[in-house]
Amino acid sequence: MKMIGCLFPHRRTMASSIARHKRARQGRVATEEPSASAWKFVRCPALIFFRWHEKRALSNLIVLAPANADEARQKLVYLIAVMVADPATPDAIGIANAIKSLKPFEATLAHCLSKRRTPFQ
């Protein structure tokens, strides 16, 4: 378990890991946008930092084991969305690690993904 300070044990939840990756991605996207400000010279090091931060947040999310079926579903849906949004982001090792962490919830996830939903459900 990680410790915040020295007093309180902290377990990183799936929701907090997803939020951390979303913030890192938003920071990178905002830094990549061209700007005509006086801070252009800071843009390159900031972009390097945001790319590293986003990659680290994604790798932490991939190796995080879900605590229950709901967290497993959140992780699966979010990782699918990340792969669809940017196909170059995940690597084969990361996908294999994500599959390993979701393996205990395979039946629940298969049921969730195979549901046919009508527009009015």
pTM, 2 dp: 0.74
The one-digit pLDDT tens for each residue of the chain (121 residues) are: 444 544 445 567 899 999 999 999 998 888 887 766 666 677 788 888 988 999 899 989 988 999 999 999 999 989 888 888 877 766 767 788 888 888 888 888 888 777 665 555 5
C-alpha span between 43 and 34 (Å, rounded): 9
Burial 96-115 (b: 16+ CB within 10 A, else e): ebbeebbeebeeebeeeeee
Cβ atoms of 103 and 47 closer than 8 Å = no
Q: Check residue 97 and give its pLDDT.
A: 84
